[in-house]
Chain A
Amino acid sequence: MARRHQVRSAGLTAFAAAALASATLFTACSTDSPDTRSDADAITVSQPWVKALDDVAADGGMTSAFAVVENDSDRDVRIVSASSDVAKTVELHEVVESGGTTTMREVDGGIVVPAKGSATLDPGGEHFMLMGVTKSIRSGDTVTITARFDDGSTETVEAIARDFNGNQENYSPEHTGERS
């Protein structure tokens, strides 16, 4: 949120104009006329990465992916589902704390990217959960993540895998708290 305001207040200096001329962010930013862009056109996904998965269980493994999602429109945009070339399914997760344990679970209603704001998907927070990964994903491997928005539009990014130990919260598919 704060970041978006800063970009605005910076104004379009020559530098900024040059840097952003090609960005979808600024292609339709008249504040007077209604924003008719699709959700995907209003969204910029940056800094994508995926947690490497070295040992894959026989029934498929799980890992997570992260990114910064920015919304340049005047309306909230919702990521309602996601998919990946390396996973059978991708869930949208959040991490919640209850009774001293943190647990990850599916987000009700998807991930909201606030109007003129951003959502940071990071370890310990909201993230893409890749389920049913049948091949190992090694550091340096590239995977694609496709986010689908409320209006049906989609945005696909390539994420490079990184060795990373975090985001190991228990997963509770039934929203029942900790997994044994």
Chain B
Amino acid sequence: MTRVSRRTLLTGGIGLAGIGVGAAAVGVGHEVSASTTDAPSTLPFFGEHQSGITTPMQSHVNFIGLDLVDPADHRVLQSILRMWSQDAANLTQGRPGFSDTEPELAGDPSRLSIAVGLGPGAFASPALASRRPGWLTPLPDFAIDRLRPEWGQTDLVVAVACDEPMTLAHTVRLVIAPVRTRTRVRWMQQGFHHGRNLFGQVDGTVQPDARRYDDLVWNDGREQPWMAGGTSLVLRRIAMNMDTWESLDRHGRELSMGRTLDNGAPLTGSHETDDPVFTATSGGIPVIPESSHIARAHRRTDREQFLRRPYSYDVPPSPGSGDTSDSGLIFAAYQRDPVVQYVPVQQRLSDHDALNEWTTPIGSAVYAMLPGPREYLGETLFA
């Protein structure tokens, strides 16, 4: 019984028409044999939207930022997207990629998703220039930013995520290797997900209602018809200074965030999901300080909502730097229009946020995340 329902879940009944006949046939055979646990370990690759965006967060991620060697040639971009689709359609379902030299590492997909986005540079070709979404431009300069070019905007991003680090590494290899003369890897941002960030704070609490994803997250194709079903990604790398944070006592930490460390409840509530009451005062002083992170980040209009997918990073400090840590947050925000939904919130946080004392944005990039594929990623862009 579980086999049948799993199969339905895996294929979702959508996008199947686009799978090559051979791939579909092979798929049936493998799904029958691939049921060792009850929990579904595969996410669909084909469909209206890419997996890995509204999907419950996987525990490991690697955002790969790549530049095109020849951005003026849109046919190369199209081929790259086709190849990524070939491998992703297999790997996400637990099958080896086309040119997979380690097929034994493909058998445990662990909710693998491979989501692809385009930066402004991907629209450099004359054939694509008019198809760049209007919002796909650099974010405004924020006063708090200390951006380092090595973590900057790239032509392409591939967000690979799953629950198993070996599967992740194998998949990343197959994303990069077949196209290594056509692209250059600028950075990789590896992160891990936990309900809390490295400051111990419960993170990612405020999210749009899932019933409003169609309105707040997914592109409706009004400006660029080819983008319907896609979204935008703002990817920020935020360094967290563990040494200075250490000097702040527990009460001060809670005031800077506006939430308790214990369970992430707002200082005016008792549960994480309680709505904060910014008007509440104690002895004439706001219970949630006006300068706290949640007071500043709280939406002022209905449109100021976006999907937060925060991943922590903790990498070795540069040898010889004398630093005790190189830790922080890979903050991924998804929304239909970053200019309208994300930027006003970020501007307020830049103008003032108590947490700014211990955090520093060092990387920033914006991407048009492709619609989900019926046959291959980016098919509507080239149609």
Residues of A that sit less than 8 Å from B by CB: 3-4, 6-7, 9-10, 13, 15-16, 18-20, 22-25, 44-47, 49, 52, 54, 66, 68, 70, 123, 138-142, 160, 162-164, 166
Contacts and interface: CB of A to CB of B under 8 A. Distances in A.
Contacts of A140: 75-76, 79-80, 83, 179, 182
Contacts of A9: 32
B281 to A, nearest CB: 59
Given A3-B26, A19-B28, A23-B24, A162 B7 contact: no
A163 B178 CA distance: 4
B179 A139 contact: yes
Main SS of chain B's interface residues?
helix
Interface stretch (B15-23, B284-292, B304-312): B15-23
Contacts, number: 110
Contact of B22 (A70, A138, A164): A70
19 contacts: A3-B29, A6-B28, A9-B32, A13-B4, A15-B8, A15-B11, A19-B24, A19-B28, A20-B24, A23-B21, A25-B25, A45-B22, A66-B98, A160-B79, A160-B86, A162-B98, A162-B178, A163-B178, A164-B99
A7 B32 CA distance: 8
A52 B28 contact: no
A161 to B, nearest CB: 8
B29 A4 contact: yes
Given A139-B178, A162-B99, A163-B179, A46 B28 contact: no
B16 A18 contact: yes
Bin chain B's interface residue count.
Answer: 35 or more
Contacts of B98: 47, 49, 66, 162
Given A6-B33, A10-B29, A139-B182, 7 more contacts: A6-B29, A7-B28, A7-B29, A46-B22, A70-B25, A138-B181, A162-B98
A9 to B, nearest CB: 7
Interface string B158-192: 00000000000000000001111110000000000
Interface of B: 4, 7-8, 11, 13, 16, 19-30, 32-33, 75-76, 79-80, 82-83, 86, 90, 98-99, 101, 177-182
Contacts of B75: 140
A22 B24 CA distance: 11
B25 A23 contact: yes
A79 to B, nearest CB: 16
B21 A138 contact: no
Contact of A16 (B28, B179, B181): B28
Which of A10, A23, A45 is packed against the most chain B CB atoms within 10 Å? A10
Which 5 residue pairs of A and B lie closest in terms of their CB atoms, listed nearest first?
A: A46-B22, A140-B79, A162-B178, A6-B29, A7-B29
B79 A142 contact: yes
B18 to A, nearest CB: 11
A73 B228 CA distance: 42
A21 to B, nearest CB: 10
A20 B4 CA distance: 16
Given A44-B22, A45-B22, A160 B29 contact: no
B47 to A, nearest CB: 15
Given A70-B22, A138-B182, A139-B178, A162 B28 contact: no
A23 to B, nearest CB: 4
A14 to B, nearest CB: 9
B25 A7 contact: yes
A163 B22 contact: no
A20 B32 contact: no
Contacts of A123: 99, 101
Nearest to B81: A140
Contacts of B29: 3-4, 6-7, 10
A123 to B, nearest CB: 7
Nearest to B34: A6
A106 B99 CA distance: 22
Which of A4, A6, A140 is packed against the most chain B CB atoms within 10 Å? A140
A17 to B, nearest CB: 10
Contacts of B13: 15
A162 B83 contact: yes
Contacts of A7: 25, 28-29, 32
A163 B90 CA distance: 19
B95 to A, nearest CB: 10
A162 B23 CA distance: 19
